[in-house]
Structure 1
């Protein structure tokens, strides 16, 4: 069983002790460091490269949000869980792509839900000779002040519109700031295909491939009447993916 390596950052000793105690109940969790400030935490995280960091938001000098932004420049970016007494930071937490957001005083059931999310992102499959870590690659999207986690098979297609990426499911649409190429990397182990510089399509949801003009095509996906462009440079590779 792979250990989930965790660092806890909180300037309040009692809160830090509480989250450490609760995390200590999970056999798969290994606490590899703790810090009482963002500055100290940055050093610990850079040295030890944890899988997950639990971060308080309201801290003097370097806030939890500032720390989270700093971590985005790391080669291996840890999962971020904000642990705070303030519920008003959820939207900001989403913007730095935090995995979850838990409120003080900590609730064991809430932490259990967070741990399920963490384990879902860090699934471990063992083979006789090696251990492979596989990401579930669920997308976190903001919807009316809530954070919704979309499974890849729910998504029919994605497209870039001005400065936002639009995400379509059978019955809903969401938007996020993350560039399409970054989402494509997140979904690389799932059946998504770049049909055009601005479109990424779930090939399992394609129903029709329609000739267009100059060697280009269009596709239709389940639950949508929109015709999605397929650049002629991608047609051959798409047909190879779609056909037996």
Structure 2
């Protein structure tokens, strides 16, 4: 495939180009130091995938990705950045993957495989409720992609959020409020500290004057529901998890 790498820091760009040239699936590689040069190369050579730094002067990576998304045949976008806190916005733009610097060869190879799958099945990733959205999670230098569909509930931990899945939990640098807004169609914030996947709810239990929601996950889980959320929770469970939440 033809790949364009864009980064305003020359050493980082040189390193990424070196790694890309070492990948068997990459047949043509170009580099650009800013958005203007990137668009010039795309007009003259084209690209199947663009590996984009986010923090760049002038038109930044997010803005350039928005421009590329308007192309008649847009290239696959892979963001490459030192900051993991842009992940939600990146996937909102339809990014195929999100790499954290310094990029490792094996992680780059995984990203290229995702690009190849994306190109081979255009539209196959389409998901009107966003269940295929992924959040990159770093643990001991290894990046794991956690799919939204794997998440049973999310717990607030200050400015971070802990994603609870069938296989364990992952702390990510994304506030609970951001995920609450991004995942409105299938999740509900039942408490100031908890966001739950409505499709994972197995029942409600009343304990005295309080209500608890029962979830399936790595094991049986019960979480408190604030009084003002009980009605909306019941309505959305009756009418389906993807019922639009009530606007207050």
Normalising by structure 2, report the TM-score: 0.59
Residue 153 of structure 1: how far off its partner (Å): 2.5
SS of 1:208's partner is strand
Residue 148 of structure 1: how far off its partner (Å): 1.0
Q: Distance in 2 between matches of 1:138 and 1:71?
A: 19
SS of 2:174's partner is coil
Q: Is this contact kept in 1: 2:17–2:31, CA < 8 A?
A: no
Q: 1:38 to 1:242 in 2, by over 3 A?
A: same
Q: Which residue does the alignment assign to 1:197?
A: 192
Residue 175 of structure 1: how far off its partner (Å): 0.5
Q: Which residue does the alignment assign to 2:56?
A: 67
Q: 1:96 to 1:204 in 2, by over 3 A?
A: closer
Q: 1:178 to 1:53 in 2, by over 3 A?
A: farther
Q: Is this contact kept in 1: 2:54–2:79, CA < 8 A?
A: no
Q: 1:44 to 1:167 in 2, by over 3 A?
A: farther
The ranges of structure 1 where at least 4 consecutive aligned residues each deviate by more than 6 angstroms after the TM superposition are: 42-45, 104-107
Normalising by structure 1, report the TM-score: 0.60
Number of matched residues? Answer: 206
Residue 187 of structure 1: how far off its partner (Å): 3.1
SS of 1:234's partner is helix
| Stretch of structure 1 that moved more, 223-232 or 135-144 | 223-232
Residue 51 of structure 1: how far off its partner (Å): 10
Q: RMSD value over aligned CA atoms?
A: 4.8
Give unmatched runs, 5+ long, in structure 1. Answer: 1-5, 26-30, 56-63, 83-88, 126-131
Q: Is this contact kept in 2: 1:100–1:114, CA < 8 A?
A: no
Give unmatched runs, 5+ long, in structure 2. Answer: 8-12, 42-46, 70-76, 88-96, 240-248
